[in-house]
Amino acid sequence: MPRKKVPFRVIDSEGEEYNLTYSSPYPAKGYDEWKTLKRNKWFESGKPTKNWMLHETDFYDEVEKIWGKKWGAEGLGKLKEVLVSRPTENETRKEYEKEWQYYYSSSRGRANLPKLQGQFDDYYQILKDNGVRVNYVEPPLPAIGPYGYLKNMVTLAGGGLVVRGGAIIHRMGLGSWQRGREVVWTKTLTALGVPIYLTIHGKGIGEPGAGRWLDSTHFVFNESVVCNEEGLEQIDFVLKRLGVEFIVTHSPGWMNDIGEGNIGTSHADMFLMAADLGVVALYPALVNYSFVRYLKRMKFDIVEVPQKEYWDLAVNGVTLQAGKVIMNKGSPRTTKELEKRGVDVIQVDFSESQKFAIAGLHCATLEMMRDQPGPLMTEMSH
C-alpha cells in the first residue's frame, strides 16, 4: 500500500512556522483501526499490550514501516538511492585560493563554476542511468557558519554514514569551515525520513561517511585528522550493535603544510575502494601496513594504484554494485587492472573538482540505500 504524506507544522516561540510532512503507512480515507490491531501480534482484546514483544522487535525490522524506507547503504549491493548537492558559488570564493592550506584546497586556483557544475551533472546522469534515485539538497547561499564561510557544501559523503536503518552524523575535524554543515545535512536527512542513530559529540571527531565497506558487515575507517579516539569509540558503539565489524586504519596528518592536500590522506575513500567481492583498489603508501596484511590474510585480490593515479583520485570512485564502479577519468592503469578482473568501469571526467577541493566522486555522494544480500565475508575468504 502506498504511503501517504500528511502535512504538519511546528510553530516556534517567535511565531515562525515550519511546514513538514509525516509519512503515514495508511491513508486516512477508509482506514480501519480494528483491522490494523488484529494484525499486531502484541494485541489481544481486553488485555494490555504484550510489551515484551515490543522489546524483542529489532529497529531495522520495522524501520520501513515507521520511517518509510529500509535505509542502509552498507556493503556492495546495488546502489539504490543517494543524496547530492550541485556546486554553487559556495565553492569558488577568492578566499579559498589565497588561503588554500587553511581551507584544504588546491593551490592551482579556483574552479570554473559552469564547468564544475557540468561535470557534476554528468555524474548525476550516470547515477540515474544506472537506476539510482538521486535526491538533491540546495544549501544556503551564501553558506556562513560560526567560523566563517562553509566550504565543500557539495561533499555529501560528509553528510553522515547511513547504515542498517539510520545515520551517524559527523562532527568535523578536517576544518572549522565544515562546522555548521551538519545542521543542513541533519535537517535534510530527517526531511527525507532517515532516522538519526547518533551525532558524534563531546570531544569526539569523526567523519565516517568517507569510510569504505568491504562487504555488508565489515567497515573500514581512518584515524587521522578527521577522526580521533573518542570519535572512533562512538562510531564503534553504534556499528557493533548493528553487527558490523569496525576496521580502523591509520595515516599521517600534517601541521604546517598539507602538501597539495594529499600528503596525509585523511579519509579511507582516498586510498581504498572495494570494486567487487574480494577485489579492492588500494594505494598502500598512506595506510598502516597491518591493514595491507589484513587484506592479504582475508584473501583479497589487491589492485595497487600508481602514485600518479592516486593523486588523480582514482580510488575515490563509487561502487554501483559488486563488479561495477564509477571512476574518475584519467586512471588508465587502475582501470585496466580492474577490468582484467571482470570489473565493469564507467569513467567520468571529474577533474574540475580538484581545483577547489581535494574531492572526488565518492566525496560528492551520500549513499543512502543499497540492496542488502546479507553477510558476504565467507564468500571472500573462502
52-100, pLDDT tens digit by residue?
Answer: 999 999 999 999 999 999 999 999 999 999 999 999 999 988 888 888 8
How many C-beta atoms surround the C-beta of residue 119 within 10 A? 22
| Rounded mean pLDDT, 12-29 | 94
The rounded distance, in Å, linking the Cα atoms of 376 and 382 is: 11
Q: Among candidates 172, 179, 88, which has minimal Cα distance to 138?
A: 88
The rounded distance, in Å, linking the Cα atoms of 17 and 179 is: 26
Q: Which residue reads 595515516 in cell numbers? A: 251
Q: What is the CATH number of domain 79-380?
A: 3.75.10.10
Enumerate residues 6+ apart whose C-beta is below 8 A from 288: 249, 250, 251
Predicted confidence band at 353 (pLDDT cuts at 50, 70, 90)? confident
pTM listed for this prediction:
0.93
Amino acid at 302: I
Tell which wins on pLDDT, 263 or 324: 324
Q: Among candidates 4, 41, 375, which has minimal Cα distance to 218?
A: 375
Q: Which residue reads 588500494 in cell numbers? A: 282
Enumerate residues 6+ apart whose C-beta is below 8 A from 372: 70, 72, 74, 75, 77, 216
Q: Which residue reads 565544515 in cell numbers? A: 178
Bridge partners (DSSP) listed for residue 212? 220
Predicted confidence band at 32 (pLDDT cuts at 50, 70, 90)? very high
| Rounded mean pLDDT, 136-149 | 96
Q: Among candidates 12, 26, 31, 25, which has minimal Cα distance to 67?
A: 25
Residue boundaries of the structural domains of the chain: 4-57, 79-380
Per the CB < 8 A criterion, the answer to whether 228 and 205 are in contact is yes
Question: Cell for 209?
Answer: 561517511
Per the CB < 8 A criterion, the answer to whether 197 and 209 are in contact is no
Tell which wins on pLDDT, 374 or 377: 374
Write the DSSP symbol of residue 224.
B
pLDDT of residue 109: 59
